[in-house]
Amino acid sequence: MSNITENAPILQVTDLYVAYGPILALHGISLEVHKGELVSICGVNGAGKSTVLKAIAGVLKPRSGSIRFKGKDVTGWKPEQLHKHGMALVPEGREIFPSLTVEENLRLGAFGRYQARRFAEDLEDFFTLFPILKERYHQAGGLLSGGEQQMLAIARGLISHPDLLMMDEPSLGLSPNRVDQIFELIMELKSRGITILLVEQNAQRALEIADRAYLFSNGRVEYAGRPQDMAGKVDITSVYLGGQKGGDVE
């Protein structure tokens, strides 16, 4: 395929600094993700989790540091270039297009990566993963429940066949049943070999399924390593509680 060596990470973030105007949000974040891994990022509100995903996806420009993806330095690339190159971000708060149908939302996810014929072929597989999207295929996305919109947002990320799927708090605001469904889905994606970088407020669950984990604190990496070791090093309960956010959207 390219100049990637067997053991090189698919994503390598090195000493990343990101600021909002004068306010520095990331103070030298380094992290890596290898092909086929599920890597979780945990941390309390404001720790910099969403900021790092947005910077990796090209939505925010880093002040300094570098991002390598599939063997290429992609620092400063635009979101659409990165999408085309195989990166998908399912943003916090889903951000589907409410007035567009489920089908149109999915087609937008495939845009630039894809031929129409393959889209049709893939739909059948998608409908197995996301039966609700088959039922609602011609309905406006905004008419779906919160959990269904989250499924649509994940499906939209997946349909581009990304080499790296990043998800920002996919279980946020969902009822316990829906949270279970989202985690089952993530497990299924992992078993299919999809490389995933996951930000989750539900640290306990995220650590159960992760191959490796990072704990962020105040824009820095406080811990990096095996999830089971992290559970012993930090008070997961406080991370969990600290990460809890506002009410149910369903």
Residue 200's binding partner, choosing from ligand ATP, Mg ion, none, with beta-carbon cut-off 5 to 8 A by kind?
A: none
- Closest approach, Cβ 55 to ligand ATP, in A, equals 9
Residue 3, both tokens: 């100049």
- Interface of this chain with Mg ion, residues 78 to 97, rule: CB under 5 A: 92
- Closest approach, Cβ 53 to ligand ATP, in A, equals 8
- Closest approach, Cβ 95 to ligand ATP, in A, equals 14
Using rule CB under 6 A, residue 244 touches ligand ATP: no
Q: How far apart are CA 217 and CA 97, in angstroms?
A: 32
Q: Where are the beta strands (DSSP E) in the chain?
A: 11-20, 23-33, 38-42, 64-69, 72-73, 87-90, 164-168, 196-199, 212-217, 220-225
- Closest approach, Cβ 27 to Mg ion, in A, equals 17
- C-alpha 185, offset from chain centre: 13
Complex with Mg ion: residue 49 or 178, whichever CB lies closer: 49
Rg over CA atoms, the chain: 17
Using rule CB under 6 A, residue 57 touches ligand ATP: no
Using rule CB under 6 A, residue 91 touches ligand ATP: no
Among 50, 105, 171, 181, binds Mg ion (CB under 5 A): 50
Q: How far apart are CA 27 and CA 118, in angstroms?
A: 42
Residue 51's binding partner, choosing from Mg ion, ligand ATP, none, with beta-carbon cut-off 5 to 8 A by kind?
A: ligand ATP
CB count, 10 Å around CB of 158?
Answer: 24
Residue type, 218: N
Among 4, 15, 36, 45, binds ligand ATP (CB under 6 A): 45
- C-alpha 67, offset from chain centre: 16
- The residues that touch ligand ATP, with contacts defined as CB under 6 A, are 20, 23, 25, 43, 45-51, 92, 243
